[in-house]
Amino acid sequence: MPKHTLATAAATALAAGLLTAATGTASAADRAAPAANGRQGDFNGNGYRDLAVAAPAATVDGKKSAGAVTVLYGSAHGVDASRHTTVSQNSPGVPGAAEAGDLFGGEVSLSDLNGDKKADLTVGAVYEDGGNGALTTLPSDGTRLTTTGSRFLSPPAVGISTAGAPQLGSIMAG
């Protein structure tokens, strides 16, 4: 099985039930969209979708293209830019460290990984460790995205060879 297919399969298995994520802005129809069954893209449990905006080319602490992700919280009136959480690999509680070219946020997905009916965030860092790639999971604490309980998954941790730079987390599909 090709390395890319293995990386894709591992990412899909680790973040099963991928629901809602974005790398841009929400349309008017999505801004105040109720979250289905309280999970689809809802970190804070208020019943409205939240929006994860990836910035994989963001400079973090002087490191170009280290990457970051910002979550904007939704309400009955749409996404509220004043209520947000931004994370990078240099955020306290996030495993690892921001490095130039990691592209943290190259892929993002929102899903309920722990069954608490709140969205959790899975972030791909496609060029972590020279192209091996990695996934970081960030849970909801019931009121917002948090870094407490974050997990870092590298190719060796999920049984994928690093020969040929597998780019774990480069494609996440649900």
DSSP-assigned letters across all residues of 33-95: PBPGGGTTT-SSSSSB--EEEEETT--BTTBTT--EEEEEEEETTEEEEEEEEEE-TTSTTSS
- Per the model's pLDDT, the better-predicted residue between 19 and 167 turns out to be 167
pLDDT value, residue 55 = 97
- Per the model's pLDDT, the better-predicted residue between 48 and 12 turns out to be 48
The answer to whether the beta carbons of residues 132 and 152 sit under 8 Å apart is no
Does residue 86 lie in a domain region?
A: yes
State the total domains in the chain: 1
pLDDT value, residue 35 = 53
174 pLDDT exceeds 50?
no
Does residue 163 lie in a domain region?
A: no
Does residue 95 lie in a domain region?
A: yes
* Region label for 169, one of left (φ > 0), alpha (ψ between -120 and 50) or beta (otherwise): left
Does residue 15 lie in a domain region?
A: yes
Does residue 164 lie in a domain region?
A: no
Does residue 168 lie in a domain region?
A: no
Does residue 26 lie in a domain region?
A: yes
What's the domain range around 141?
3-158
95-99 mean pLDDT: 94
Does residue 57 lie in a domain region?
A: yes
3-18 mean pLDDT: 36
63-92 mean pLDDT: 93
Q: Which of 99-108, 111-120, 141-150 has the highest mean pLDDT?
A: 99-108
- Taking the complete model, does pTM exceed 0.85, yes or no? no
Percentage of the chain with pLDDT > 90?
43
